[in-house]
Amino acid sequence: MGIQQQATSARLKVGVVGIGWAGQQHLKAYSAIEGVDIVAVAGMEEDLLAQMKQEYGIPHAFARWEDMIGLEGMDAISVAVPTFLHAPISIAALERGLHVLSEKPLARNGDEGRAMVEAARKAGRVLDVAFNHRRRGDIQKLKSIIDDGGLGRPYYAKGSWLRRAGIPTLGSWFTNPELAGGGPLADIGVHVLDYSLHLLGEPKVLSVSAQTHSELGPQGRGGNARYTAGPVSHKFEVEDFATAFIRLEGGGTLILEAGWASYREVDDLLDFTVYGTDGGAELRAVGAPLQPVGSLRIFTDKEGENADYEPEAIPGLAHQAVVDDFVAAVRGGETVWGQHDGSLALSRALILDACYKSALEQREVVLW
């Protein structure tokens, strides 16, 4: 299918690699979009693969992703598999002329991420990454307030995603650095980094000073019924808590926290606090991500009097919004594709690399 023909064809043919929770979100989202046909799915879980094939009426199902991307007639794929497979699958798909939507993080490290971006640019195809938490309704509401100047110039911010006992599948690929790229900093911290920089208007990160801790996971603690541990196949070799001090261009500061396991309240906390020259804000989503809207408070004054308020926010569309945007980009044609080459996700990967390097070498790492 030719480039322009691909962009304007009546129906978009897509495939999904990976049928875990994330892959199922992509399948559900594609099925809700007019003019999109899910023509292929790939996964290693035989029974679940058959179930997804039947549930969504998918004509082709594969155990191997290599076989799926060789299917003729596809336009795009989603990659929703363990992190170590993001780069090889995405690059192979891009080289076949397919557009790619990958789960986060972009890759295990910046080098792999850079190879993915280069492949997207060489192929002239879309490479997007699923940063679904920036699509939360409360984050979108706060973004509109900041962009409208409601807080003045932001100069300090702190973002966190913290769990009490939330190591995902203790003893699985998640706890192996060669497969996952890192622990909570790479897994959920990348979301915090993404929505924090998004809210602040994408300031350039100048340097980072980070620390990682691995205290509970190595003892077999930090998992619960929600994050069920299957047969233990990997040692716990990543961090279970991380924090970073991030210097921003223009003198701003961002503090980031990401924890799978620590002795704190039971419910997850996803939050963001920001101080600006004309106001401040505090977003707290207790129970996130299951809680679609958190509490949002704006602190400001008017003519010297307290003018604090609590704006209303509605639930965002999460993965549906991510997939909607990806499909819109693919349908946008050549003039749009170049704007979606994975560069933003690569910038996040390079910052995470710097954080891990800082923690390992116990020093500040300069990016610019």
CB-based burial of residue 253 (10 Å sphere; 0-12 exposed, 13-18 middle, 19+ buried)?
Answer: middle
User: Across residues 93-97, what is the average pLDDT?
Assistant: 98
Is 50 exceeded by the pLDDT of residue 289? yes
Q: 356 lies in a domain?
A: no
User: Across residues 251-265, what is the average pLDDT?
Assistant: 97
Contacts of 352 (CB under 8 A, 6+ apart): 105, 110, 182, 185, 186, 189, 190, 193
DSSP 8-state secondary structure symbol assigned to residue 85? G
Q: Are residues 147 and 286 in the same domain?
A: yes
User: Across residues 84-110, what is the average pLDDT?
Assistant: 98
- On the CB side of 76, CA atoms within 13 Å amount to 32
- The CATH number of the domain where 204 resides is what? 3.30.360.10
Q: Are residues 113 and 57 in the same domain?
A: yes
Q: Are residues 12 and 121 in the same domain?
A: yes
Q: How confident is the model at residue 46 (pLDDT cuts 50, 70, 90)?
A: very high
- The CATH number of the domain where 334 resides is what? 3.40.50.720
Q: 211 lies in a domain?
A: yes
Q: Are residues 121 and 270 in the same domain?
A: no
Q: 274 lies in a domain?
A: yes
Q: How confident is the model at residue 228 (pLDDT cuts 50, 70, 90)?
A: very low
**Which of 164, 177, 190 is closest to 237 using CA atoms?**
177
Q: Are residues 173 and 56 in the same domain?
A: no
Lowest mean pLDDT, pick from 117-121, 159-163, 164-168, 250-254: 164-168
Q: Are residues 238 and 152 in the same domain?
A: yes
**Which of 250, 241, 244 is closest to 159 using CA atoms?**
244
Q: Are residues 73 and 93 in the same domain?
A: yes
DSSP 8-state secondary structure symbol assigned to residue 261? B
Helices in 20-163 by DSSP H: which ranges?
Answer: 21-31, 46-55, 65-69, 86-95, 110-123, 137-147
Q: 351 lies in a domain?
A: no
Q: Are residues 60 and 207 in the same domain?
A: no
Q: Are residues 79 and 154 in the same domain?
A: no
**Which range marks the domain in which residue 148 is found?**
137-315
Number of separate domains in the chain: 2
pTM of the model: 0.94
User: Across residues 20-30, what is the average pLDDT?
Assistant: 97
Q: How confident is the model at residue 9 (pLDDT cuts 50, 70, 90)?
A: low
Q: 362 lies in a domain?
A: no
Is 90 exceeded by the pLDDT of residue 186? yes
Q: Are residues 79 and 9 in the same domain?
A: yes
Q: At what angle do helices 21-31 and 319-331 cross, to 10 degrees?
A: 60
Last residue of a domain, one of 315, 332, 351: 315
For a pLDDT cut of 90, what percent of the chain falls above it?
A: 90
Q: Are residues 219 and 329 in the same domain?
A: no
Is 60 exceeded by the pLDDT of residue 337? yes
Q: 201 lies in a domain?
A: yes
Q: 349 lies in a domain?
A: no
Q: Is 210 helix (H, G, I), strand (E, B) or coil?
A: strand
State the chain's mean pLDDT as an integer. Answer: 94
Structure tokens at 105: 């993080």
Lowest mean pLDDT, pick from 9-13, 219-223, 271-275: 9-13
Cβ atoms 154, 146 nearer than 8 A: yes
Q: Are residues 308 and 327 in the same domain?
A: no
Preceding amide of 184 cis, omega within 30:
no
Q: How many residues does the chain have?
A: 368
Q: 256 lies in a domain?
A: yes
